[in-house]
Amino acid sequence: MPTARDLFAKGKSLLANKPDPALEAKQLLLKSCGISEQSFYSHPEKEVPSSRESAFFRLVSARLEGVPLAYVLGEKEFWSLGFKVSPGVLIPRPETEILVEKAAAIATEGNEIIADIGTGSGNIAVSLASELPRARIVATDISAGALSLAETNAGHHHLSNIRFVRGSLFGPLQKLGLRGRCDIIVSNPPYVSLREWETLPEEIRDHEPRKALVAGESGLEVIDKLVRRAPAFLKPGGYLCLEIGYGQKESVLSLFEPEWGESRSYPDLAGIPRVVVGRTLERRP
């Protein structure tokens, strides 16, 4: 039987064209063999049963076929928390942590009503719920499968301050009677244009859900709806926090009028404007 070290070496060789073959081979090995990283390093000569060996090479094959690593592993870390992911939801990305950071900083009272529109895997809602245990969080999605996965992720982290509701955009908030009652609305909406979609890597186009990425011809269609309709569901002085795409800063900021008192953008770690935060007027015009 091969050892863990043997399989790691073989996997690293097969994955040589990936950005970090050593890291990927290790993660796939740990997943397929059900061992910890500590065990791998402390007992690299431990023999691996044939069933585990077969499982490892199945995962490697899926990766070589272009399936994103997060889908192959069935999990992704975000905000230092583990999230289950599947092909039906967008893979959480590090730049979205800026959205969580800004929303959490706004919630100075700690008991705010926060709505996460288009929750997907629940990474934003769960992260905010873990940071703000007294907050009341409503997470919505049009996909029943996505909501089920998000609820599973919330349960995994033992969070009970999130309510999951199915529906499109503001429909669930209307159903819950939250018109004019939300302190913060957050969303990582579809913001890719049809033209941009064609230029994305095959790994994204072939595997991640198009409806979670593509907004329409301009890429601003969903963002425009969120900005126009959010004031009706926010308290006076409430906040809308949005993730945006590359090159969209000026176009998105121009949408925040006339019911918005202020709006500004924030960059991600690469210096790219990534999040826009708008605040409604303290008093309605």
- pLDDT of 35-84, one tens digit each? 888 988 888 888 889 899 999 999 999 999 999 999 999 999 999 999 99
Distance CA 146, CA 139 (A): 11
Return the pLDDT at 282.
76
Return the pLDDT at 199.
93
What is the per-residue DSSP string for 136-147? EEEEEES-HHHH
Return the pLDDT at 283.
65
127 and 81 in contact (C-beta within 8 Å)?
A: yes
Return the pLDDT at 254.
93
Return the pLDDT at 257.
79
Distance CA 83, CA 75 (A): 5
Percentage of the chain modeled with pLDDT above 70: 99
| 20-41: average pLDDT | 92
Distances from the Cα of 25 to the Cα of 84, 220, 234, angstroms: 20, 38, 47
pLDDT exceeds 70 at position 5? yes
Return the pLDDT at 1.
83
Distance CA 222, CA 219 (A): 8
Q: Nearest Cα to 252, choosing from 270, 272, 277? A: 277
Mean pLDDT of the chain: 94
Phi, psi of 9 (to 5 degrees): -65, -40
pLDDT exceeds 60 at position 285? no
| 15-30: average pLDDT | 95
**Residue 28: CB partners within 8 Å, gap ≥ 6?**
11, 56, 59, 60, 63, 72, 73
**Residue 57: CB partners within 8 Å, gap ≥ 6?**
none
Confidence bin at 132 (pLDDT 50/70/90) = very high
Return the pLDDT at 57.
95
The string of pLDDT tens digits covering residues 81-107 is 999 999 999 999 999 999 999 999 999
Q: Kindly state the tokens that stand for 123.
A: 């990474």
Distance CA 152, CA 121 (A): 9
Say whether 265 sits in a helix, a strand or coil: strand
Return the pLDDT at 213.
95
The string of pLDDT tens digits covering residues 248-270 is 999 999 999 777 989 999 999 99
Say whether 182 sits in a helix, a strand or coil: strand
The string of pLDDT tens digits covering residues 196-231 is 999 999 999 999 999 999 999 999 999 999 999 999
Q: Nearest Cα to 157, choosing from 179, 126, 186? A: 126
Amino acid at 282: E
Return the pLDDT at 110.
84
Q: 170-181: buried (b, 16+ CB within 10 Å) or exposed (e) per residue?
A: bebbeebebeee
Neighbours of 89 (CB within 10 A): 28
What global pTM score does this model have? 0.92
Confidence bin at 284 (pLDDT 50/70/90) = low
122 and 151 in contact (C-beta within 8 Å)?
A: yes
